[in-house]
Amino acid sequence: MGARSFCAAVCLAAASLFAGRAQALDSITFSAPSGDVAKDQVVSITVGFNFADLTVGGGFDLQFDPAVFAYQDFSFDSGLGDDAAFRMQPAFGATSGPFTLAFGSFSELTGTKTVGVLELVAQKALVLGAGGTLLSASDNVNPAGPFVDGLGSPLIVQYDKLLGVVPEPSALLLVAGGLGALILSRSRLAVGRAAE
C-alpha cells in the first residue's frame, strides 16, 4: 500500500468516525399530560435523557415566561445512574433564574433515562398540548457547563419543548363584544324597517 493509499484510508476512516458521531442524537425531553391547567395548579413535567453518545454530564438552563409558570421544585430520579455530587438544581421555590439542572458521572451516562420530575406552578389558566412553546432549555454556560464527552468535548444536545397555549380572556371578550354589537345593529335595522 502506497503512502497515498494509506493516507486516503486513514482519512476515510476518520471521516466515517466523525460522520457517525455527528449523526448521533442526544436530547433532553419534557413531557406532561395534555389538557387544561388551572391557575395555581402544579404541573409535573417529566424530564428525560436520551443520549446516543457517552457523556460525563453537564447542565442546562430552563426557559419559561414567569407570567406563565413559577418554579416550584425538581426531584432527581433514583434510577438515573449519576453521581449525586454532580447534581445541581434550583432551591425549592426559587423566584429568579437561571434555573439550572445538571447531573453527571465519571462512569459516563448514555441511553434513555428519566432525569427527574420538574414542578412548575401555572400563573394563569393554560392548555398543555399543541401550540406555542411554554418551556424550553439551552446549554448551561456556567457553573455546570454544557454536556461533554469523556475527553471534555462539548456534545450537541437537542432540547425538546413543552407546548401549549395560554387562552387570552381579552381576545374572547373582544370577539363576544363584536358579535354583540353586530346582533344589536341587525336588530335595530330590523326594527327600523318594520317601522317604515
pLDDT (0 to 100) of residue 69: 97
**CATH number of domain containing 129:** 2.60.40.680
Strands 157-159 and 26-31: parallel
Do 39 and 53 lie in a common domain? yes
Is position 9 within any domain? no
Do 70 and 156 lie in a common domain? yes
Is position 195 within any domain? yes
d(CA 98, CA 66): 12
- Strand ranges (E), 20-152: 26-31, 35-37, 42-63, 69-76, 99-122, 126-139
Do 183 and 158 lie in a common domain? no
Do 117 and 194 lie in a common domain? no
pLDDT (0 to 100) of residue 14: 40
d(CA 127, CA 36): 4
Domain of 45, in residue numbers: 25-165
* Cell digits of residue 113: 433515562
pLDDT (0 to 100) of residue 125: 96
Do 104 and 194 lie in a common domain? no
Do 145 and 194 lie in a common domain? no
Do 173 and 136 lie in a common domain? no
Do 138 and 49 lie in a common domain? yes
Do 136 and 47 lie in a common domain? yes
Do 173 and 161 lie in a common domain? no
Is position 15 within any domain? no
Is position 7 within any domain? no
Do 86 and 46 lie in a common domain? yes
pLDDT (0 to 100) of residue 170: 55
Q: Give the pTM.
A: 0.74
Total number of domains constituting the chain: 2
For the chain, residues with pLDDT lower than 50 are 1, 3-23
d(CA 57, CA 152): 10
